[in-house]
């Protein structure tokens, strides 16, 4: 077995030329590998789908299910350092990898971020505001929670949900039974949380390396459509105080959770300037794709620097930017209008074969002198509908 460095050795630096193993071969892995290869690292990815987005750009892909321990062992053998591009890593695989390989991100963070109950309780224990919530077992718990928290409220599965899946916005007591019966079919724990009447959704990505050096990327203002991220607007249209507070929260979470790599912190901003953390993700995040073209260092480069315990790069914003996601239904219009895209728009496509509706296929970073101008450029393309907000 390969000797691997210890996560407790803070002086350990993984030098270019080393191989980074990525659990998960989707678009995040692909963009990590593209950035890391430019920096001189090699990549091997593990993903069940042959020719996965990351497999296309990595040195090698192990085609194996995420819970395949033998596959994970091969990944460990081939890699000098292992990272993951999603948080739903099988607990046993994570344990095996930690024993047999160098996994600076660790698995503790995974167990917290995989479960909304742990995630919210942990963040609340730091004194950072989250929407008040209750854990739901039986239907009677839901009735009691709604009596205490009021309506509207949002019921969510504690595990497994993403992009609004496994969620129900409860508006009146008549729909409680149907919501409970539907969501409890997943057979996992449920929570219900107070609806936060937010003015904006925002996010900050913090990076931290093994030595404890920490930086944050500029806060993004995020607009969702059908619960899927649609636009990230940077700089976010809010005050310096809110931006500073959001960055402080992200740093505090990164530090207290002992993050190595990236952590994306999604927050609700209310009209009176209060921030509530909604959820965190220990990896590059869709709301950080703007950094690829608008910051000195992209979130993907930063992730590589952080897990390799290199000095972190500058997160300075070089230009206002708006990122717009390209879902399955947008691919054809984007391709047919390529010659109409502004010259300051950077197109990123993930190499996915099938352009299913709502599937994330790529994104466009539109750089401009102001975010309003960038939004105007996106509107005039008429690919995502006319009006954006």
Which residues sit at the interface with ligand AMP, rule CB under 6 A? 131, 154, 161, 164, 167, 193, 195-196, 201, 224, 227, 278-279
Q: Which is nearer to ligand AMP, 43 or 168 (CB)?
A: 168
Q: Which is nearer to ligand AMP, 69 or 124 (CB)?
A: 124
Query: Minimal distance in Å, beta carbon 144 to ligand AMP?
Result: 18
Rounded to 10 degrees, the C-alpha dihedral 386/382/361/323 comes to -70
Q: Which is nearer to ligand AMP, 191 or 242 (CB)?
A: 191
Instruction: Please tell me the total number of residues recorded for the chain in this structure.
Output: 389
Q: Which is nearer to ligand AMP, 63 or 186 (CB)?
A: 186
Query: Minimal distance in Å, beta carbon 357 to ligand AMP?
Result: 19
**Bridge partner list, 207:** 215, 262
**Three-state DSSP class for residue 141:** helix
**Residues sharing a CB contact under 8 Å with residue 245, sequence separation 6 or more, in sequence order:** 275
Query: Minimal distance in Å, beta carbon 129 to ligand AMP?
Result: 12
Query: Minimal distance in Å, beta carbon 224 to ligand AMP?
Result: 5
Q: Which is nearer to ligand AMP, 210 or 265 (CB)?
A: 265
Measure the CA–CA gap between 33 and 39, rounded to whole angstroms: 10
The token pair that represents 369 in the structure block: 């002198």
Measure the CA angle with vertex 148, ends 145 and 149; round to 5°: 80
Helices (H) and strands (E) in the chain — how many of each?
A: 12, 17
Q: Which is nearer to ligand AMP, 80 or 193 (CB)?
A: 193
Is the bond preceding residue 360 a cis peptide, omega within 30 degrees? no
Query: Minimal distance in Å, beta carbon 150 to ligand AMP?
Result: 12
Measure the CA–CA gap between 189 and 127, rounded to whole angstroms: 24
Q: Which is nearer to ligand AMP, 46 or 130 (CB)?
A: 130
The token pair that represents 49 in the structure block: 């789908």
Q: Which is nearer to ligand AMP, 64 or 246 (CB)?
A: 246
Compute how many other C-beta atoms are within 10 angstroms of the C-beta atom of residue 185. 9
Comparing every residue's Cβ against ligand AMP, the nearest one is 196
Measure the CA–CA gap between 42 and 23, rounded to whole angstroms: 14
Q: Which is nearer to ligand AMP, 7 or 124 (CB)?
A: 124
Angle between helices 299-307 and 27-38 (to 10 degrees): 70
Query: Minimal distance in Å, beta carbon 200 to ligand AMP?
Result: 10
Per-residue burial over 133-160, b if 16 or more Cβ lie within 10 Å, else e, is bbebeeeeebeebbeebeeebbbbbbbe
Contact between 88 and 67 (Cβ < 8 Å)? no
Closest CA to 238 of 187, 198, 192, 193: 198
């Amino acid at each position: 077995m390969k000797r691997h460095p210890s996560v407790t050795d803070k002086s350990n630096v993984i030098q270019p030329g080393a191989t980074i193993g990525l659990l998960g071969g989707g678009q995040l892995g692909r963009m990590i590998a593209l950035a890391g290869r430019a920096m001189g690292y090699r990549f091997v990815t593990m993903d069940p789908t042959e020719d996965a987005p990351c497999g296309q750009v990595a040195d090698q892909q192990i085609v194996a299910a995420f819970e395949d321990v033998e596959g994970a062992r091969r990944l460990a053998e081939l890699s000098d350092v292992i990272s993951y591009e999603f948080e739903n890593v099988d607990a046993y695989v994570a344990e095996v990898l930690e024993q047999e390989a160098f996994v600076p991100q660790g698995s503790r963070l995974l167990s917290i971020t995989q479960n909304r109950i742990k995630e919210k309780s942990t963040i609340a224990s730091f004194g950072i505001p989250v929407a008040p919530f209750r854990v739901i077992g039986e239907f009677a718990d839901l009735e009691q929670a709604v009596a205490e928290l009021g309506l509207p409220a949002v019921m969510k599965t504690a595990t497994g949900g993403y992009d609004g899946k496994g969620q129900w916005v409860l508006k009146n007591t008549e729909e409680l039974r149907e919501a409970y019966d539907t969501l409890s079919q997943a057979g996992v724990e449920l929570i219900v949380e107070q609806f936060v009447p937010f003015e904006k959704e925002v996010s900050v990505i913090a990076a931290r390396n093994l030595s404890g050096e920490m930086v944050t990327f500029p806060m993004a203002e995020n607009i969702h459509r059908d619960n899927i991220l649609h636009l990230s607007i940077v700089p976010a249209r809010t005050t310096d105080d809110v931006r500073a507070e959001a960055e402080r929260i992200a740093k505090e979470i990164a530090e207290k959770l002992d993050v190595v790599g990236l952590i994306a912190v999604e927050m609700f901003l209310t009209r009176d300037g209060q921030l509530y953390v909604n959820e965190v993700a220990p990896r590059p995040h869709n709301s950080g794709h703007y950094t690829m073209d608008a910051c000195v260092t992209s979130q993907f480069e930063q992730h590589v620097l952080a897990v390799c315990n290199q000095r972190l790069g500058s997160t300075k914003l070089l230009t206002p930017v708006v990122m717009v996601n390209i879902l399955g239904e947008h691919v054809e219009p984007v391709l047919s209008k390529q010659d109409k895209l502004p010259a300051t728009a950077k197109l990123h496509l993930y190499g996915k074969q099938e352009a299913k509706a709502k599937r994330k296929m790529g994104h466009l970073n539109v750089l401009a002198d102001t975010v309003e101008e960038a939004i105007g450029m996106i509107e005039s393309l008429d690919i995502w509908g006319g009006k954006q907000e």
